[in-house]
């Protein structure tokens, strides 16, 4: 397997790890919020969220060399935002263990860098055709919904954690938990098309 193929497989696996540990960690933390005051279960929940954060950072760092072949100036923001995402999540976890209470709207603060970083990732995947465009388009829709949902939730228009507001999480969840990692593990990356190389073709067709 080539270096590029190993990167695709590793990123795919990390997406699965990130999602699984985040779901498990969030479940344990929510149980604490709902009245389960077992400190050990809470600690495990925060540790799982930390593991999810490490996977997130790993995805960002591994994807940067791939994305920079498409647009180096834009690509650098993807790992930066994933590191910010991990930092916010870790800070909320430390606060929770120290104060035994959650940071208000903690998931929304994490969603901000997640959504913006995801838009950068999926835009670069879309223009480069590193993965099939329908997959990238699903991610674009998912991260756009996530990014839009944060201010709507903060303003009290909807609740992304319950009811109709959860619908906004579905496209991004499918993209991160199923579609993209499955493709990367099974097929890997396609040969990228840089933005510069597509410009003449677009001009010609126009």
Sketch out the chain's domains with CATH numbers. 3-205 (1.25.40)
Token match 């650098």: residue?
A: 76
Q: Is the pLDDT of residue 199 over 60?
A: no
Q: What pLDDT shows up at residue 206? A: 40
Residue 205 — very low, low, confident or very high, per pLDDT cuts 50/70/90? very low
pLDDT tens for each residue of 38-76 = 899 999 999 999 999 999 999 999 999 999 999 999 999
pLDDT tens for each residue of 111-142 = 999 999 999 999 999 999 999 999 999 999 99
Distance CA 52, CA 187 (A): 24
Q: Which long-range contacts (CB under 8 A, 24 or more apart) does 93-98 make?
A: 93/46, 93/49, 93/50, 96/29, 96/42, 96/46, 97/42, 97/43, 97/46
Report in angstroms the alpha-carbon separations of 63 from 48, 66, 110. 23, 5, 20
pLDDT tens for each residue of 83-118 = 999 999 999 999 999 999 999 999 999 999 999 999
The residue length of the chain stands at: 206
Q: Which two tokens stand for residue 64?
A: 């940067």
């Amino acid at each position: 397997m080539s270096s590029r193929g190993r990167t695709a497989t590793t990123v795919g696996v990390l997406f699965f790890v990130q999602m699984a540990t985040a779901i498990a960690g969030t479940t344990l933390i929510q149980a604490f919020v709902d009245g389960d005051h077992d400190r050990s279960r809470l600690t495990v929940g925060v540790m799982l969220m930390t593991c999810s954060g490490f996977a997130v950072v790993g995805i960002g760092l591994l994807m940067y060399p791939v994305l920079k072949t498409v647009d180096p100036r834009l690509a650098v923001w993807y790992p930066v935002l994933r590191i910010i995402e991990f930092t916010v999540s870790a800070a909320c976890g430390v606060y929770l263990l120290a104060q035994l209470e959650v940071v208000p709207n903690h998931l929304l603060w994490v969603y901000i860098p997640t959504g913006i970083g995801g838009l950068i990732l999926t835009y670069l995947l879309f223009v480069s055709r590193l993965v099939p465009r329908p997959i990238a388009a699903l991610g674009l829709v998912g991260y756009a919904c996530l990014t839009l949902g944060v201010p709507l939730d903060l303003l009290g228009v909807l609740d992304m954690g319950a009811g109709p507001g959860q619908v906004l999480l579905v496209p991004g969840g499918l993209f991160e938990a199923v579609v993209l990692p499955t493709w990367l593990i099974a097929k890997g990356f396609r040969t990228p098309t840089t933005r510069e190389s597509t410009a003449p073709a677009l001009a010609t067709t126009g």
